[in-house]
Amino acid sequence: MPQSSVNQQTHEFILNNLAEIKEIQDVKQKAINEYHHRLQIVIQNRLTQDIAIRLHHWRGYPAMRFALQKWTETESDVVLYLSGEDGVSSVNTYAHLCGSFDEKKADSYILKGQQVERWVEGEGDYRYRGYRFLGPMNEDAIAQYIANRILELDDFEKAFQGNAR
């Protein structure tokens, strides 16, 4: 029999507690979904606009995406990444760059004058200017931060993409 990367004690614990582990996983997913929807409602109320949400997972942790519902032809959005680090929030803002719209144009609208991590990823019509804030924030501050980034992205979309898609 091939050697396992899981020790025997852990292996037995998992097999003997599958029902409880599944229950914990289900409760975790429900809590993440409720948190995502709660943030969606708070942001919608602040912006008085419909917010679209999508849930992804990065390295096994939730990545909650927020964008204006009216953006139908862009991939710009704001992502709250729950990395599992206690008390630390990571919020990434992605400005979809098309054609001649480069990162300097995005920088003139998004987090201008602020010190945050910035990068470009992707290629062709699927290029993005990324911005990352990493630090402690409570739920209200997270919702406000995301709302502010969405407003900046909307201005960017209107100015450089021709309309608020």
pTM score of the predicted model: 0.89
- DSSP H or E run through 83: none
Which residue would you say has higher pLDDT here, 122 or 67?
Answer: 67
* CB 149 within 8 Å of CB 65: no
Answer whether residue 94 shows pLDDT above 80.
yes
**Three-point CA angle 98, 147, 164, nearest 5°:** 35
pLDDT of residue 20: 97
pLDDT of residue 114: 86
- CB within 8 Å of 126: residues ≥ 6 apart: 75
100 backbone φψ class: left, alpha, beta (φ>0; ψ -120 to 50): alpha
The mean pLDDT of 59-86, rounded to a whole number, is 92
pLDDT of residue 163: 46
Answer whether residue 6 shows pLDDT above 90.
no
Using one digit for the tens of pLDDT, what is the confidence trace for 26-51? 999 999 999 999 999 999 999 999 99
Compute the mean pLDDT over every residue in the chain, rounded to the nearest whole number: 91
The mean pLDDT of 62-85, rounded to a whole number, is 93
High-pLDDT (> 70) share of the chain, %: 95
pLDDT bucket at 52, cuts 50 / 70 / 90: very high
Which residue would you say has higher pLDDT here, 68 or 99?
Answer: 68
As a whole number of angstroms, the distance between CA 116 and CA 4 comes to 43
Radius of gyration of the chain, Cα coordinates, nearest whole angstrom: 19
